[in-house]
Structure 1
Amino acid sequence: MFPTRPDIAIIGAGPAGLMAAEVLAEGGVSVTVYDAMPSVARKFLMAGRGGLNLTHSEELSAFLSRYREAATWLAPAIQAFSPQQLRDWCEALGQPTFVGSSGRVFPTAMKASPLLRAWLRRLDAQGVRFGLRHRWTGWDDQGRLVFDTPDGRRTVTTGATVLALGGASWPRLGSDGGWVPILAAKGVAIAPLRPANCGFTVGWSDIFRDRFEGQPLKGISLSLGERSVRGEAVVTRQGLEGGAVYALSAELREAIASEGRAILHVALRPDLSTADLISRLSAPRGKQSFSNVLRKALQLSPVAIGLLQEVAKTLGQSLSSLPPDRLAALINAVPIKLTGTAGLARAISSAGGIARDELDVDYMLRRLPGVFAAGEMLDWEAPTGGYLLQASFATGVAAGKGVLKWLAGGTAGDD
């Protein structure tokens, strides 16, 4: 325990900020969580609408590889607060979890709201306070935190600060990237915020767009270069989105940035070999229409057939005139030209943020002693599947521990 109870400010009431608050309250310090929104964890609640995917059950080395270049950086935090520890934490809040068929981990309630209510009850019991409708605008000339509130400007003196303001996706839920110029003015290097786990734009014809907007392509495989992902995609008015697309979003975004486009190949029947496809397509058609042959012999959905026709037109080909071998090759490698990302406002998460070198091993900003950062505002990205929330929770824990170490006069900052 500390001789006095220093007041610590957490700015951002999402998973990273709330987890840092819990660690600090357990460590014996006074904690106030500030957020610009009128209620906490709005994006967390949004994520739970379709079943809250907390983490993933795969072996830890495979799990860490999902963070790509940031894997080495995030590994200590995730190893210290692992997927199993996150599940145990949920269990202790009265919210047991289960592993789905894909290996993803969900709370049994399949919602975020019961977990969040139990968590807030615990934080309240620990004495954590909240300052909502407090939009952080930086520091004054005395080093105090400055907030815009409904009652006007407010300044706060704090013993340390944890920034957990999120990235810039779904800005209407609170994470709008407004912190970027504040930290940049202090000399903190920040990688540009970019869409991640996002949709991509495609120049669909009006006919295809009007007929198939919102329809899913199920049981497909998407490929970019040597990387392939099984899953689903959804046709949007502007292009494509969905789980399989999100899994490749980093590579697709980088290809578009460097080449102006990305060619994504779609296997509509990845479970069938080329020889099997050719055999089915070579069978006598009788009086069936060509579309019926594709639907019955290959079990292709209307949207899958429409996609084949759409791409064949752009290639100057007629599907019905293609020989079986060429048609089979096309069915399991439909080329789709992606021309851009769908934008940050609709992206599930964002890439970019505070550069790795700006933080010490305890998640303290080297240029701003006593200021720590956690969560999605750091420069890392990961696919959906539980990896986003796991890293947010884990870095929140790490930042909270870093504050306690710093307050105790430890060697925070040593690498």
Structure 2
Amino acid sequence: MPSLPSEVEIAIIGGGPAGLMAAEVCAEAGFKPHIFERMPTPARKFLMAGKSGLNITHGEPLDKFLTRYSEGSEEIKPAIKAFTPSDMRVWADELGTETFVGSSGRVFPKVMKASPLLRAWLKKLENLGTTLHTRCHWQGWNDEALHFNTSEGPRYIKTKATILALGGSSWPKLGADGSWFPQLQQYGVNATEFQPSNCGFEVNWSDHFKERNAGEPIKNTILSFSSNRVQGDFVISGYGLEGSAIYALSSHIRRAISTGKQSAILTLDLTPDRSLERLKASLSRSKGKKSFSTHLKRTTGLSGVKAALIRECLDETTRNDPALLAAAIKALPIHIDAPRPIEEAISTAGGVMWNSLDKDLMLKVIPGTFCAGEMLDWDAPTGGYLLTACMAQGRQAARGAIKYLKSNS
């Protein structure tokens, strides 16, 4: 590991995608940035995400892509317009990672791994003159110098510009734990506490239902929460619900629970391909001596875990009334109690508020210090939106730092 300098021109704190992209932009502009990462290796969350295929961006039109950021959507647009999903694919291709658009519109590397892309990226940064320092845990400032705890004790480094890419607090074992919060708040930076996003939710299942159905996927379902609607798949877990369709609605469900202004009731359309009228007609057929499960399967096609959900969520009166049962199958109510702990979340909402930043992502109360990535107060579903925004903001912060240095030279 390279020895720590006493002074650098540009310090980038955080070796995740936002920090690495900031370093790339600075290095390509002729600077020699230094990256300070608290973990033994950089981009650990990036590699973890790659275990399931590394969804780097989404192939939908840009105008629709930009609507996916439920919190901070307007503020995040300039960064993404300057580094679009198409630009993201070109960037990956230039590093030797060809991508493809999957059936869901999500974009993946053809190798379906993160490690080859990261290796090529780190090699490029090294060739551009970027220096990576690991096991450097940022502690804030000491007499205007950056204070780090290292394996060799405390170190103090002066810098002309600093880019903070410190992440949120999900998956803290990978490096980002939100411990930077008090360092910024003591300078008057406005920030909101982190909350879990793209997370599972707790449901009070009966023991019988949990024992028989935990781990079972629910496919071809429309999920609705308030005015928000998504079609997709999810999974029954021992604690409640998880999976991509649940994550897509997580920000809306979380806000309803946190404000207490709305009952957290998710509704499921278990038969998107069958109309309410068709269900009513089918369920009105004579049941005869058939069991409820057999009658349900023969008339609606529902069986397995979907049938188990109906038995779990509906009382006997509703199950035995064809009209009520048909209506419930098209809007099965699931009462959600709470989000899962933030340590289990894929991402977080909250962080540095936009009113603390200027248009270049510089902190208004700490000139020369810029912020990027998940440490800022924005939220997005899975599907490539998180990674694209982090990298786009890394570029935006880097351009801001370069502009700042040039104007103060």
- Taking structure 2 as the reference length, the TM-score comes to 0.95
Residue type of the alignment partner of 1:367: V
Among residues 11, 32, 35, which one is paired with 1:33 in the alignment?
35
TM-fit CA distance, 1:278: 2.0
2-structure distance, mates of 1:35, 1:234: 35
Among residues 89, 94, 112, which one is paired with 1:87 in the alignment?
89
Residue type of the alignment partner of 1:368: I
The answer for the alignment partner of 1:47 in structure 2 is 49
Bigger shift: residues 287-296 or 131-140: 287-296
The answer for the alignment partner of 2:313 in structure 1 is 311
TM-fit CA distance, 1:117: 1.0
1-structure distance, mates of 2:118, 2:296: 48
Residue type of the alignment partner of 1:168: S
Contact 1:6 1:29 in 2 (8 A): no
1:290 is the counterpart of 2:292: yes
**CA deviation digits over 1:146-177, x for unaligned, max 9?**
11111111111112111001101111111100
Residue type of the alignment partner of 1:358: S
TM-fit CA distance, 1:344: 0.4
The 3-state SS of whatever aligns with 1:176 is: coil
The 3-state SS of whatever aligns with 2:162 is: strand
Aligned 1:390-405 pairs, distance under 5 A: 390-405=388-403
Residue type of the alignment partner of 1:317: E
Residue type of the alignment partner of 1:212: N
TM-fit CA distance, 1:285: 4.4
1:70 is the counterpart of 2:72: yes
TM-fit CA distance, 1:296: 4.2
2-structure distance, mates of 1:85, 1:212: 43
1-structure distance, mates of 2:119, 2:241: 35
The answer for the alignment partner of 2:22 in structure 1 is 20
The 3-state SS of whatever aligns with 2:297 is: helix
1-structure distance, mates of 2:351, 2:71: 14
The answer for the alignment partner of 2:123 in structure 1 is 121
The answer for the alignment partner of 2:213 in structure 1 is 212
The 3-state SS of whatever aligns with 1:117 is: helix
Structure 1 residue ranges without an equivalent (≥5): none
1-structure distance, mates of 2:174, 2:294: 46
The answer for the alignment partner of 2:230 in structure 1 is 229
The 3-state SS of whatever aligns with 1:159 is: strand
Residue type of the alignment partner of 1:115: L
CA spacing shift, 1:150–1:6, aligned 2, 3 Å: closer
Aligned 1:104-183 pairs, distance under 5 A: 104-141=106-143, 143-183=144-184
**CA deviation digits over 1:181-217, x for unaligned, max 9?**
1111111000111111111111111111121111111
2-structure distance, mates of 1:248, 1:265: 12
1-structure distance, mates of 2:291, 2:104: 37
Residue type of the alignment partner of 1:246: Y
- Taking structure 1 as the reference length, the TM-score comes to 0.93
**CA deviation digits over 1:34-73, x for unaligned, max 9?**
1111111011111111111111111111111111241211
TM-fit CA distance, 1:282: 3.0
2-structure distance, mates of 1:410, 1:75: 27
The 3-state SS of whatever aligns with 1:357 is: helix
The 3-state SS of whatever aligns with 2:66 is: helix
2-structure distance, mates of 1:197, 1:183: 26
**CA deviation digits over 1:87-129, x for unaligned, max 9?**
1000100101111111111111111111111111111111211
The 3-state SS of whatever aligns with 1:363 is: coil
Bigger shift: residues 272-281 or 335-344: 272-281
1:194 is the counterpart of 2:170: no
How many matched pairs? 402
Contact 1:295 1:302 in 2 (8 A): no
Residue type of the alignment partner of 1:105: V
**CA deviation digits over 1:227-270, x for unaligned, max 9?**
21101121111111111111111111111112274011011112
The answer for the alignment partner of 2:254 in structure 1 is 253
TM-fit CA distance, 1:391: 0.4
TM-fit CA distance, 1:287: 5.2
2-structure distance, mates of 1:140, 1:385: 40
Among residues 321, 332, 335, which one is paired with 2:333 in the alignment?
335
Aligned 1:259-408 pairs, distance under 5 A: 259=260, 261-285=263-287, 288-312=290-314, 316-318=315-317, 320=319, 322-408=320-406
Contact 1:309 1:319 in 2 (8 A): no
Residue type of the alignment partner of 2:158: T
TM-fit CA distance, 1:332: 1.4
The 3-state SS of whatever aligns with 1:280 is: helix
Contact 1:14 1:44 in 2 (8 A): yes
The structure 1 segments of at least 4 consecutive aligned residues displaced by more than 6 Å after TM superposition are none
Bigger shift: residues 360-369 or 295-304: 295-304
Residue type of the alignment partner of 2:84: S
TM-fit CA distance, 1:289: 2.6
The 3-state SS of whatever aligns with 1:153 is: strand
TM-fit CA distance, 1:284: 4.5
2-structure distance, mates of 1:296, 1:103: 35
Structure 2 residue ranges without an equivalent (≥5): 1-6
The 3-state SS of whatever aligns with 2:309 is: helix
TM-fit CA distance, 1:286: 5.6
TM-fit CA distance, 1:347: 0.7
Residue type of the alignment partner of 2:125: L
2-structure distance, mates of 1:109, 1:234: 26
TM-fit CA distance, 1:323: 2.3
Bigger shift: residues 171-180 or 62-71: 62-71
Percent identity of paired positions between Structure 1 and Structure 2: 50
Residue type of the alignment partner of 2:118: L
Contact 1:319 1:327 in 2 (8 A): yes
The answer for the alignment partner of 2:98 in structure 1 is 96
The 3-state SS of whatever aligns with 2:224 is: strand
The 3-state SS of whatever aligns with 2:363 is: coil
The answer for the alignment partner of 2:3 in structure 1 is none
Residue type of the alignment partner of 2:161: A
